[in-house]
Amino acid sequence: MTNAPLTRQLDLFEALPPASEGVDLEFKAARGGLPGSFWETYSAMANTEGGLIVLGVAQRGGALAWEGVPDPAQLRTTLWNQINDRHKVSTNLLTHADVTSWERDGRQFVSVQVPRAKREQRPIYIGANPLTGTYRRAEDGDYHCSSDEVRRLLADQNASDPADARVLDQFGLADLDADTLRQYRNRFASRTPDHPWLSEDDAGLLLKLGGLRRDRTTGGLGLTVAGVLMFGSFDALREAMPSYHVDYREKLAADPAVRWTHRIHADGTFAPNLFQFYQRVRQGLGADIKLPLPASIAWRVQRVGAPISCANAAPPSSPPPSPARSTSARRRRPARAHQGAPTA
């Protein structure tokens, strides 16, 4: 079929400078059928901002050559067969309205309008492996995504349902440390005594904080990853996240053979959830340091990072003198802090 608006649009293409391709426009010759490079551009546009692929236009010596395609119907059939083959490309984003055949000056052309993929659909990739078949679009062509870029796209798929909001099967209120939850309530009340959430029971408060979620299908309640990280007991943390580890080390000695002079870690003397760990590290930092901190010590603490939050201060123009006290903290599997209530 013909498309008059598209034909008029393509009349304007001839007036463009020779290097007329852009981030949302690609011309491809198709004398031998659907070109293999079509799928790289399809992936790249879908993972970027979408765009238009015009089949039947070659580039020769920096100029556009409007050659046409020999058999538009066969080309369209090939396109639909391949785009619905999961071994060829991961997802079909096209509708029939996105693929248009049209005629100009006695030649046949096919245009494909590639929509931008939704966040939960990205990455759109070629073949069976997203790490090797994902492309992105830049101003002058298609570029293979690095493994880090692909992993970010995969992580963004579930941004509306973050990893720490996942409900843990078979975990309930009995897996929380009662002292931690009580202390959190006390700190919350001291900060905002009239907050309406304080009238809730433990389950109600955890629902508000995101530590507990309700299954809309079954109506049951389940602890989230964030709930166990923030309030979990020693056993619950060990069972739910075997690789979870918190470790604070203080080194006061100048002797390099002394690895630390004070350490806070999961040694069995307290529930090593993030709330309890933060409380202990905070007390250790403030126990014998005069406030305000000397500039050299404050800068060093900001650089290495506190367990829950860290000031992103720029370093001074010249390195500070070596402080008499150095701190370090290490934490794996971080949890988000709820913005509507205090974390400490």
Place of tokens 């923030």: 230
With a CB cutoff of 8 Å and minimum separation 6, the contacts of 66 are 14, 56, 57, 104, 105, 107, 109
List the chain pLDDT tens, one digit each, 344 residues: 445 445 445 554 554 444 467 889 999 999 999 999 999 999 999 999 999 999 999 988 878 899 999 999 999 999 999 999 999 999 999 999 999 999 988 999 999 999 999 988 999 999 999 999 999 998 768 999 999 999 988 877 876 667 788 889 889 999 999 999 999 999 999 999 999 999 999 999 999 999 999 877 677 889 999 999 999 999 999 999 998 999 998 888 888 888 888 899 999 999 999 999 999 998 877 665 544 544 433 333 333 333 322 222 233 333 333 333 333 333 333 333 333 444 43
State the pLDDT at residue 13. Answer: 52
State the pLDDT at residue 143. Answer: 95
With a CB cutoff of 8 Å and minimum separation 6, the contacts of 5 are none
With a CB cutoff of 8 Å and minimum separation 6, the contacts of 27 are 20, 21, 54, 57, 58, 59, 64
Instruction: For residue 165, give the 3-state DSSP assignment.
Output: helix
199 phi and psi angles, rounded to 5 deg = -80, -10
Beta pairing class for 25-28 and 51-55: parallel
Place of tokens 């829950």: 308
* Residues 339/157/310/168 CA torsion (nearest 10 deg): 70
Residue among 127, 128, 145 at smallest CA distance from 136: 145
State the pLDDT at residue 152. Answer: 86
State the pLDDT at residue 95. Answer: 96
**What predicted TM-score, i.e. pTM, was given to this entire model?**
0.48
State the pLDDT at residue 56. Answer: 94
Instruction: For residue 59, give the 3-state DSSP assignment.
Output: strand
